[in-house]
Amino acid sequence: MATVTTENPQPHLSHLDDQGRARMVDVAHKKETSRTAVAAGEFVTTAEVIALVRADDMPKADVLATARIAGISAAKRTSELIPLCHQLALSSVKISFGFTESTITVEATARTTGRTGVEMEALTAVAVAGLTLHDMVKAVDPGASMNGVRLITKDGGKHGHWQRDDAEDSPDSVAAPIFESSRSAAVLVASTGGARGTRPDTTGPAIAAWLTDRGFTVRGPLVYADADISAGLHDALAGDPSLIVSTGGTGVSPTDATPEATAALLDIDMPGIADAIRTRGTSATPHAVLSRGVSGLIGRTLVVNLPGSPGGVKDGLSVLDPLLDHVLAQIAGGGPHDE
């Protein structure tokens, strides 16, 4: 006869009462803290659809803008969709997209100050943004699918920081992890118009595509208003990527603040990279010397500020191309020092 043991009791599920009935958790006794959650998923489709979306050439309206608005709206209405969720006063919901040859990566970051977390809001935003992508492209690819909707990180509350271990993902999962320790990157865009949705972002996707072609797992573009670029840098640092490339906010306009925000976080200044980018730019325009972009290390993350113009981005990437692998290998402790 089998022996019944109680050494490993079932974990307590907070949404069940003592009689096993569903309930809404009472959070009145909890302290209000700043809470953040990041969720992600992958929309799998065809190369044809990817090309059409990136060129904004789908039959329906702007695909990514529509999916972004849908995801933000869904996050705000999560308590109406998930029965036992609390109503939250969200302070921010940001949704970004990345591309591979056959997927559109959807990532949502939700923030609030309150007594309970925003994981469900971030997950709901990703799921609904993905469903909206499907609705927008189904005429071209009815077989598209939204896969791997999952929580990446969460912060705040009694348990503090939690981050998904890549090993927790199923080895058979279609979705690739957001970060790989040695070849991960985040793209950050400083653009007030881009953050408001009144100005298209062209430089961010160009940088993301360039990095993807070189084997990086790319997060973003993360688009922040110039005044919020410091928060954008902290967002880009989530997950400890090996590289952050920013674009925009490096000039002398009153709102340009990317160099100051970056310099405030640097542990090691690497002015040679920024100087080389300015020098390369002067071959096309004397205005390149006005860029105040900086570069250096925040922890073990290399951060490089590029100008906001397509030409400035092109010049900056041409400077990075021959040295990026070498410098990242050195930062990781495995690069030669005599090349």
**Residue pLDDT, tens place only, 304-319:** 999 988 889 999 999 9
How confident is the model over 281-292, as pLDDT tens digits? 887 788 878 889
Residue 307 CA to residue 261 CA, distance in Å, equals 15
What percentage of the chain has pLDDT greater than the value 90? 31
Question: Can you give the pLDDT at residue 4?
Answer: 40
pLDDT in tens, 181-196: 347 899 999 998 888 7
Distance in angstroms (rounded) separating the CA atoms of residues 165 and 315: 36
**pLDDT band at 270; cut points 50, 70, 90:** very high
pLDDT on residue 9:
45
- Residue 61 CA to its chain's centroid (Å): 24
Half-sphere exposure of 321 (CA within 13 A, CB side): 11
pLDDT at 246 over 90: yes
**For this structure, is 155 an active site residue?**
no
**What pTM did the predictor assign?**
0.49
Radius of gyration of the chain (CA): 22
- Residue 29's pLDDT is 60
Among 4-8, 203-207, 242-246, name the one with the lowest average pLDDT. 4-8
| Contact status, residue 41 vs residue 152, Cβ threshold 8 Å | no
Give dist(CA 334, CA 127) in Å, integer. 39
Residue 172: pLDDT above 80?
Answer: no
Q: Lowest-pLDDT range, 94-103, 200-209, 325-334? A: 325-334
* Average per-residue pLDDT for the chain: 81
Q: Is 270 annotated as a binding residue?
A: no
Of the ranges 45-59, 116-130, 204-218, which one carries the lowest mean pLDDT score?
Answer: 45-59
- Catalytic residue selected from 18, 62, 135, 240: 135
In one-letter notation, the amino acid at residue 208 is: A
Instruction: Give residues with Cβ within 8 angstroms of 104, minimum separation 6.
Output: 42, 43, 45, 50, 53, 97, 98, 133
d(CA 82, CA 310): 43
121 is in an annotated binding site: yes
Check the annotation: does 134 bind a ligand.
Answer: no
* pLDDT tens for each residue of 40-96: 999 999 999 988 888 776 665 688 889 999 999 999 999 898 888 878 888 888 888
Q: What is the percent of the chain where pLDDT is above 70? A: 80
- Round to whole Å and give the CA distance between 109 and 118: 9
Please state whether 157 falls in left (phi above 0), alpha (psi between -120 and 50) or beta: left
Q: What is the pLDDT of residue 92?
A: 86
Asked whether residue 303 carries a pLDDT value surpassing 60, the answer given is yes
pLDDT-derived band at 275, boundaries 50, 70, 90: very high
Rounded to whole angstroms, the Cα distance separating 255 from 56 reads 29
Comparing CA positions, the residue from 33, 65, 99 lying closest to residue 197 is: 65
In angstroms, the CA 135 to CA 19 distance is 42
What span, in angstroms and rounded, lies between the C-alpha atoms of 186 and 223? 11
32 assigned binding-site residue: no
